[in-house]
Amino acid sequence: MVRHSGIGTHIRGLLEGWRDVAPEFRPTLLGDPAVIRELLPDAARYTIVPFRAPVYGLREQLAFPSRKTRGTVLHCPHYNIALRHNGPLVVTIHDLIHLDARWGTRSPARRLYARWMLRAAVRRAGHIFAVSQATADELAARIGAARDKISVVYNAPSRSFLDLRAADTASEGRAADRSEAIEQFRRETGLPAEYLLTVGLYKPHKNLDMLLETFKLLRERGEIALPLVVAGVQERERTALGRRLARLGVAEHVRVLDRLPGDRLPLLYGGATALIHPSVREGFGLPIVEAQAVGTPVVASRASAIPEVAGKGALFFDPYDGADLARQVVAVVKDAAVRERLIAEGRRNVERFSWRESAQKVLSVYEQVARLQKDEG
């Protein structure tokens, strides 16, 4: 699942953290070798066991290479655990969106599958990682997971975001280098000098339609003139999004970006006037801390795990209230003092999140689970 947006970022982040805190630790990776080598520049460090199957289904279970993992600690990075694994198991659960008819899937069969697999994951796992306290609490309340079996392991900005942040807060010369890098990125991508940014999939829980309707209203009232840049939309979602933009009459003011390499994303964030994160359901909300890491003000919904993650470094709004969103967008666009406060608070807040710390916590749990298995054996 290393190619998936949020889950893939989590996997790559842990690997990045382990390279720093435990360079001798080189886990075996299961997946498509070609995809892993494409997405991990240092893939040669790892043993790769081929495992190619569509997620969420019978083929995934039947194709799982159980003989290769027998007796070892297996970390499943999502709730679709390997039921045939014979050995210690840990699992990361990012959110419970798949259980929701409104925001997850409308298919009763898929919701039934998600609930069954989540219960199986909670029952079989020696330990569970949740990416926020909000997700941990929901796991306990809705699935019955024991709280002493759950550890919160936060996501964090990648090294490329931290490098750009370091340039901004270092010497005057490095700050000038940062500005030139952002300007060069704008020229290459044809982006304007100022723009609002939103990052995420075009799925119901991301609440992009509400943002687009509010954006249209603000432009019609003459309260903002900035364009909106949308990043993170998958190729299969672009047609539906294009139709939506055309119906709203804002297509010429909204730029939908193609997929960007990971090392270019900090420049996209760094050049934005503000990030708007309108989700109604979120297990973590990685774009928030990515924006805060590079000094971009954040406007975010007051929902799910988002306040926990954003801390004091965001202007919050009700995700069901377009007028509330409009007020916060106008405030961040027109008030320099508000922007400066959000930048300062965001930089302080993002210090709470580190792939080094998360990777160390996960590695400690691996060792505990392995010892317990050995003692019981």
Q: Are 309 and 284 in contact (CB under 8 A)?
A: yes
Structure tokens at 351: 């210090």
- 330 by Cβ neighbours in 10 Å (0-12 / 13-18 / 19+) ranks as middle
Q: Do both 173 and 285 map to the same domain?
A: yes
Q: Do both 133 and 49 map to the same domain?
A: yes
Q: Do both 38 and 185 map to the same domain?
A: no
Structure tokens at 114: 């998600």
| Contacts for 256 with CB less than 8 Å, ≥ 6 apart | 230, 233, 238, 241, 242, 245
Q: How many domains does the chain have?
A: 2
Residue 361: which domain range?
A: 5-155+355-376
| Contacts for 63 with CB less than 8 Å, ≥ 6 apart | 51, 52, 53
- 146 by Cβ neighbours in 10 Å (0-12 / 13-18 / 19+) ranks as exposed
Half-sphere exposure at residue 204, Cβ-oriented, CA atoms within 13 angstroms: 9
Q: Do both 345 and 359 map to the same domain?
A: no
**CATH number for the domain harbouring residue 209:** 3.40.50.2000
Q: Do both 338 and 360 map to the same domain?
A: no
Write the single-letter amino acid at 282.
E
Tell me the C-alpha distance between 152 and 130, whole Å. 5
Its sign, for the CA torsion 180, 300, 210, 6, is positive
Strand bridging mode 150-152 / 29-31: unpaired
Q: Do both 176 and 315 map to the same domain?
A: yes
Tracing tokens 């306290």 back to the chain, one arrives at 133
Q: Do both 102 and 175 map to the same domain?
A: no
Block mean pLDDT (10 aa), the chain, length 377: 80 94 94 91 91 88 94 95 95 93 80 93 96 97 95 94 68 69 92 96 95 97 96 92 96 92 90 97 96 97 97 97 98 97 97 96 94 68
Torsion angle of the four alpha carbons 160, 161, 162, 168, in this order, in degrees rounded to the nearest 10: 110
Half-sphere exposure at residue 222, Cβ-oriented, CA atoms within 13 angstroms: 0
Structure tokens at 80: 């679709």
Q: Are 242 and 251 in contact (CB under 8 A)?
A: yes
Q: Do both 181 and 112 map to the same domain?
A: no
Q: Do both 9 and 144 map to the same domain?
A: yes
Q: Print burial letters for 190-199: b (CB count within 10 Å at least 16), e (below 16).
A: ebeeebbbbb
Q: Do both 200 and 264 map to the same domain?
A: yes
Q: Do both 195 and 113 map to the same domain?
A: no
Q: Do both 331 and 277 map to the same domain?
A: yes
Tell me the C-alpha distance between 227 and 253, whole Å. 5
- Residue 77 has what pLDDT? 95
